[in-house]
Amino acid sequence: MFIKGYSFASVAEMGCCGCFGFSFTRKQTPTTRPKTQYENHITQELLLNDEVDDDEEDEEEGEEDDNISYGEDMSDAEKGDHLEFRNPSSRSQEILVYRTQNGLICREVPVKETHKVVRSEDENGNKMVNEYVREHKIGSGSYGKVVLYRSQVDGKHYALKAFHKSHLLKLRVAPSETAMTDVLREVLIMKMLNHPNIVNLIEVIDDPETDHFYMVLEYVEGKWVFEGAGPPNGLGQNVSRRYLRDIVSGLMYLHAHHIVHGDIKPDNLLVTANGTVKIGDFSVSQVFEDEKDELRRSPGTPVFTAPECCLGLTYHGKAADTWAVGVTLYCMILGQYPFLGDTLQDTYDKIVNDPLRLPKGMNPLLKNLLEGLLCKDPAQRFTLEKVAVHPWVVGDAGPIPQFLCWCKRNKLQREQISDGNITEALINTD
């Protein structure tokens, strides 16, 4: 029996290599820094094939190159170091399973579970998966392909990510774990989330009688605003401010639910047609029971890695996410990375040691915000709560509003009922 849990390993790859036009090309150079998952993870981020090849059967079925390896080429010492990072994943999965079994999810409407796959064709010869009619490929991920489908039921477009369970089970991501571990954790995370600035998981299709399974996600139809412009050009303060507000709102929601994203960057941020940013790709995210968000190894992309993560020491995941927000804002404003070397080790050295350089004449409020987000001392770094009320972020729109999510509304209702305020509780649920 296959495990019923899957991953949208790179939601950001649904349209383009970088939603703001940025990408990081890995240089194949040795580094003296202790190896973790970096090298492989960067390779995964560059797997997107911009060419749409509708004739390839594996685009629908999710076939991948069987030569993809995660950890198989590491020495015994490196495997031990890698396993030290992987351990939090097992703990995250335990927490997620507990939350699921006890109904501790933040969704009014649960993700639809379908246990029968019917593969057919419509009257025009287009391939179908259940009610969904295939249109064309829109991306590739670490473990599967992303294809645009249209539902015959509601007429809407959805992004389907297709996988082979057998393929996931034979891909080693650690000595004792396969890719199925990653995808199970990611899907469990996405099943719990419901926020306007987070990509929404609609349905999971898993037929125990077949090797195929699918994740049905909302399709973010908007074009990448920075597509084709290239890194030399920023987005401007107004657009960057609007995007930042969405990013902070979504990330505050995650942190409030004790989830560390682990790889915030433009590639993992989708922009809808109306300009709303949605956070995607929870493939390296971790979940905690409480506020203790300590991690040992950082799986994120090097140029977005916080200084404390580069040192191989224990760090706090939420503070590292916040640093990545700062790097993303820097990219949006200036069209380049704040710390980028010729090699991975050079990049890490710059992140840890180089001062932050900002152009003369920059808006003082924006300068203060970037300096606060990109503070090398995590204890002094701005928190997301401080960012939400920062004068540059507030602008003319006011502070980022607090999002009253489903589970907190339920908790508030229960507290009010227990206090005898039944009438007020009922009003708050309307």
Same domain, 183 and 291: no
Is the pLDDT at 398 greater than 70? The verdict is yes
Same domain, 299 and 366: yes
Predicted pLDDT of residue 92: 59
Predicted pLDDT of residue 89: 57
Instruction: Return the percentage of the chain with pLDDT > 70, whole number.
Output: 65
Is the pLDDT at 110 greater than 80? The verdict is yes
Active site residue: 182, 207, 246, 263, which one? Answer: 263
End-to-end CA distance of the chain: 43
Tell me whether residue 399 is in a domain: no
Is the pLDDT at 405 greater than 80? The verdict is no
Is the pLDDT at 174 greater than 70? The verdict is yes
Please name which of 163, 150, 203 lies closest in space to residue 283, comparing C-alpha atoms: 163
Same domain, 160 and 294: no
Same domain, 264 and 169: no
> How far apart, in whole angstroms, are the C-alpha atoms of residue 36 and residue 138?
30
| CATH code for position 269 | 1.10.510.10
Give alpha helix (H) positions in 102-216: 165-170, 179-192
Q: Are 69 and 153 in contact (CB under 8 A)?
A: no
Is the pLDDT at 67 greater than 80? The verdict is no
Is the pLDDT at 134 greater than 60? The verdict is yes
Same domain, 197 and 246: no
| CATH code for position 39 | 3.30.200.20
Residue type, 391: P
Per the model's pLDDT, the better-predicted residue between 295 and 85 turns out to be: 295
Same domain, 265 and 336: yes
Is the pLDDT at 133 greater than 90? The verdict is yes
Same domain, 276 and 128: no
Residues 322-341, mean pLDDT to the nearest whole number: 93
Tell me whether residue 278 is in a domain: yes
Tell me whether residue 405 is in a domain: no
Tell me whether residue 256 is in a domain: yes
Predicted pLDDT of residue 268: 86
- The CA-atom distances, in angstroms, between 229 and each of 19, 49, 134, 327 are 11, 19, 30, 19
> How far apart, in whole angstroms, are the C-alpha atoms of residue 142 and residue 40?
10
Max distance between CA atoms of the chain, in angstroms, equals 65
Is 263 one of the catalytic residues?
yes
Q: Please write the tens of the pLDDT for every residue from 239-249.
A: 999 999 999 99
Q: Please write the tens of the pLDDT for every residue from 212-238.
A: 889 899 998 764 444 433 445 688 899
Q: Are 370 and 329 in contact (CB under 8 A)?
A: yes
Q: Out of 104-118, 196-210, 318-332, 411-425, which region has the weakest mean confidence (pLDDT)?
A: 411-425
Residues 328-348, mean pLDDT to the nearest whole number: 92
**Mean model confidence pLDDT for the chain:** 74
Per the model's pLDDT, the better-predicted residue between 422 and 79 turns out to be: 422
Q: Give helix then strand counts, H and E, for the chain.
A: 14, 16
Same domain, 157 and 263: no
Tell me whether residue 406 is in a domain: no
| Residues spanned by the domain of 39 | 11-218
Same domain, 186 and 256: no
Predicted pLDDT of residue 41: 35
Same domain, 210 and 247: no
Q: Please write the tens of the pLDDT for every residue from 147-168.
A: 999 999 999 999 998 888 999 9
Q: Out of 164-168, 175-179, 307-311, 348-352, which region has the weakest mean confidence (pLDDT)?
A: 175-179
Is 161 annotated in a binding site? The answer is yes
Residues 301-307, mean pLDDT to the nearest whole number: 92
Residues 366-385, mean pLDDT to the nearest whole number: 96
DSSP-derived secondary structure letter, 120: E
Q: Which SS3 state, helix, strand or coil, does residue 141 take?
A: coil
Q: How far is CA 31 from the centre of its chain?
A: 26
Same domain, 278 and 250: yes
Tell me whether residue 185 is in a domain: yes
Q: Please write the tens of the pLDDT for every residue from 236-287.
A: 899 999 999 999 999 999 999 889 999 899 888 889 988 899 998 888 888 8
Q: Give the CA angle between residues 101, 284, 369 to the nearest 5°.
A: 115
Tell me whether residue 419 is in a domain: no
Residues 14-21, mean pLDDT to the nearest whole number: 31
Predicted pLDDT of residue 318: 92
Same domain, 102 and 148: yes
Q: List all residues 6 or more positions away from 213 whose beta carbon is below 8 Å from its beta carbon.
A: 2, 4, 6, 117, 162, 163, 165, 204, 205, 206, 207
Is the pLDDT at 47 greater than 50? The verdict is no
Quote the number of domains for the chain: 2
Tell me whether residue 412 is in a domain: no
> How far apart, in whole angstroms, are the C-alpha atoms of residue 430 and residue 16?
40
Per the model's pLDDT, the better-predicted residue between 413 and 358 turns out to be: 358
